[in-house]
Amino acid sequence: MNKTASPFVIARLAVAAMLFAALLHWPYAYYTLLRFAVCVVGAYAAYVAAERRQHSWMWAFGVTALLFNPFLPVRLDRATWAVLDVAAGVLFLTSLGNRILAGQLAAASRNSGRPGQRPPGPTTAAGLREENHD
């Protein structure tokens, strides 16, 4: 079993830590870097979720990426950003517990097929597998 964390896991952990650290007072450049990091990692997470047909995660990360984008910044007061920073940090941490987003099921399905699914083989018109009784 591979014990190393994927770059995607590390990126989500780093962004979550940055979001929680944003509750402290930092220079303006930190918040610009934060917006960029959240936007990039959030957009990638939305893409991964869409590829894995996790539509709720896709929308959550897509909205987060848009909200934090540095190119067309959303202007809100500090108290509102504090709430959004915590909410986004929780989103990124929670996604680490999602087995599909973590990639564990994707690797398993590539190796052994989907759980409970029969291997491909000839079927009858009713969709039942034909048994070979030679």
pLDDT tens profile 26-80 = 999 999 999 999 999 999 999 999 999 999 999 999 999 999 999 999 999 999 9
Q: How many CA atoms does the CB half-sphere of 90 hold within 13 Å? A: 6
* Averaged pLDDT score across all residues of the chain: 82
The rounded distance, in Å, linking the Cα atoms of 12 and 132 is 50
pLDDT at 116 over 60: no
Q: State mean pLDDT over 111-121.
A: 50
Helical H segments across 22-103, by residue range: 28-51, 55-67, 78-96, 99-102
